[in-house]
Protein backbone atom coordinates (compact mmCIF):
# COMPACT_ATOMS: atom_id res chain seq x y z
CA UNK A 1 0.00 0.00 0.00
CA UNK A 2 2.82 2.41 0.88
CA UNK A 3 4.46 1.87 -2.51
CA UNK A 4 1.25 2.77 -4.35
CA UNK A 5 0.78 5.87 -2.20
CA UNK A 6 4.33 7.03 -2.92
CA UNK A 7 3.78 6.49 -6.65
CA UNK A 8 0.53 8.47 -6.49
CA UNK A 9 2.25 11.36 -4.68
CA UNK A 10 5.05 11.45 -7.28
CA UNK A 11 2.48 11.34 -10.10
CA UNK A 12 0.47 14.21 -8.60
CA UNK A 13 3.64 16.28 -8.10
CA UNK A 14 4.67 15.61 -11.72
CA UNK A 15 1.21 16.72 -12.93
CA UNK A 16 1.46 19.97 -10.98
CA UNK A 17 4.94 20.57 -12.38
CA UNK A 18 3.76 19.83 -15.93
CA UNK A 19 0.83 22.26 -15.62
CA UNK A 20 3.29 25.05 -14.80
CA UNK A 21 5.61 23.82 -17.59
CA UNK A 22 2.68 23.99 -20.05
CA UNK A 23 1.89 27.52 -18.85
CA UNK A 24 5.52 28.44 -19.65
CA UNK A 25 5.38 26.58 -23.00
CA UNK A 26 2.27 28.48 -24.08
CA UNK A 27 4.23 31.74 -23.79
CA UNK A 28 7.46 30.61 -25.47
CA UNK A 29 7.83 31.51 -29.18
CA UNK A 30 9.77 28.26 -29.80
CA UNK A 31 6.68 26.16 -29.00
CA UNK A 32 4.75 25.16 -32.15
CA UNK A 33 1.48 27.08 -32.50
CA UNK A 34 -0.76 24.00 -32.23
CA UNK A 35 1.05 22.91 -29.04
CA UNK A 36 0.68 26.45 -27.67
CA UNK A 37 -3.09 26.32 -28.15
CA UNK A 38 -3.42 22.99 -26.36
CA UNK A 39 -0.91 23.91 -23.64
CA UNK A 40 -2.62 27.24 -22.97
CA UNK A 41 -6.06 25.65 -22.77
CA UNK A 42 -4.94 22.84 -20.47
CA UNK A 43 -2.88 25.11 -18.21
CA UNK A 44 -5.63 27.73 -17.99
CA UNK A 45 -8.22 25.12 -17.07
CA UNK A 46 -5.97 23.33 -14.57
CA UNK A 47 -4.94 26.61 -12.91
CA UNK A 48 -8.47 27.98 -12.84
CA UNK A 49 -10.27 27.99 -9.50
CA UNK A 50 -13.53 27.23 -11.35
CA UNK A 51 -14.25 23.76 -12.77
CA UNK A 52 -16.34 23.08 -15.84
CA UNK A 53 -18.11 20.38 -13.82
CA UNK A 54 -18.34 21.49 -10.16
CA UNK A 55 -16.85 19.03 -7.66
CA UNK A 56 -20.12 18.73 -5.73
CA UNK A 57 -21.75 16.92 -8.69
CA UNK A 58 -21.54 13.21 -7.75
CA UNK A 59 -18.93 11.25 -9.73
CA UNK A 60 -18.81 13.68 -12.68
CA UNK A 61 -17.48 16.46 -10.43
CA UNK A 62 -14.13 14.75 -10.07
CA UNK A 63 -14.07 13.32 -13.58
CA UNK A 64 -12.32 16.38 -15.00
CA UNK A 65 -9.69 16.41 -12.24
CA UNK A 66 -8.96 12.69 -12.45
CA UNK A 67 -9.29 12.02 -16.18
CA UNK A 68 -9.66 15.08 -18.40
CA UNK A 69 -6.84 17.21 -16.94
CA UNK A 70 -4.24 14.38 -16.98
CA UNK A 71 -5.26 13.43 -20.54
CA UNK A 72 -5.00 17.07 -21.62
CA UNK A 73 -1.57 17.33 -20.03
CA UNK A 74 -0.44 14.13 -21.76
CA UNK A 75 -1.64 15.42 -25.14
CA UNK A 76 0.03 18.80 -24.72
CA UNK A 77 3.31 17.21 -23.58
CA UNK A 78 3.32 14.97 -26.67
CA UNK A 79 2.87 17.98 -28.95
CA UNK A 80 5.85 19.86 -27.50
CA UNK A 81 9.34 18.82 -28.64
CA UNK A 82 11.00 16.77 -25.85
CA UNK A 83 14.03 19.04 -25.49
CA UNK A 84 11.78 22.07 -25.01
CA UNK A 85 9.53 20.20 -22.57
CA UNK A 86 12.57 19.22 -20.49
CA UNK A 87 13.58 22.89 -20.37
CA UNK A 88 10.07 23.99 -19.38
CA UNK A 89 9.94 21.34 -16.64
CA UNK A 90 13.23 22.63 -15.26
CA UNK A 91 11.89 26.17 -15.24
CA UNK A 92 8.67 24.98 -13.58
CA UNK A 93 10.59 23.27 -10.77
CA UNK A 94 12.58 26.45 -10.09
CA UNK A 95 9.49 28.64 -10.15
CA UNK A 96 8.30 29.42 -6.63
CA UNK A 97 4.85 30.89 -7.26
CA UNK A 98 2.17 28.97 -9.09
CA UNK A 99 0.73 31.00 -11.98
CA UNK A 100 -2.93 31.83 -12.07
CA UNK A 101 -5.48 32.06 -14.83
CA UNK A 102 -7.88 34.98 -14.99
CA UNK A 103 -9.44 34.16 -18.33
CA UNK A 104 -10.39 30.54 -17.65
CA UNK A 105 -12.89 31.22 -14.84
CA UNK A 106 -14.57 33.88 -16.96
CA UNK A 107 -14.84 31.51 -19.93
CA UNK A 108 -16.16 28.67 -17.76
CA UNK A 109 -18.78 30.89 -16.09
CA UNK A 110 -19.78 32.19 -19.54
CA UNK A 111 -20.21 28.61 -20.79
CA UNK A 112 -22.43 27.80 -17.79
CA UNK A 113 -24.51 30.93 -18.41
CA UNK A 114 -24.94 30.08 -22.09
CA UNK A 115 -25.90 26.49 -21.21
CA UNK A 116 -28.39 27.75 -18.64
CA UNK A 117 -29.88 30.22 -21.14
CA UNK A 118 -30.23 27.52 -23.81
CA UNK A 119 -31.86 25.19 -21.30
CA UNK A 120 -34.22 27.95 -20.14
CA UNK A 121 -35.23 28.82 -23.72
CA UNK A 122 -35.74 25.15 -24.58
CA UNK A 123 -37.82 24.63 -21.43
CA UNK A 124 -39.90 27.71 -22.17
CA UNK A 125 -40.53 26.47 -25.74
CA UNK A 126 -41.60 23.04 -24.43
CA UNK A 127 -44.07 24.60 -21.97
CA UNK A 128 -45.77 26.77 -24.60
Residue-wise pLDDT tens digits, 38-65:
999 888 888 877 777 777 777 777 777 7
3-state secondary structure 38-85: HHHHHHHHHHCCCCCCCCCCCCHHHHHHHHHHHHHHHHHHHHCCHHHH
d(CA 40, CA 47): 10
Region 98-118: mean pLDDT is: 74
pTM: predicted TM-score of the whole model, two decimal places: 0.70
d(CA 85, CA 77): 7
Q: Domain map of the chain by residue range?
A: 2-127
Amino acid sequence: MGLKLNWLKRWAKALKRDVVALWIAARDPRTPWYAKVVAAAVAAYALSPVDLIPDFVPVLGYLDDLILVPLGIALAVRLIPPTLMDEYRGLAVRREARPGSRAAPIIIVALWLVAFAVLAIWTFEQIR
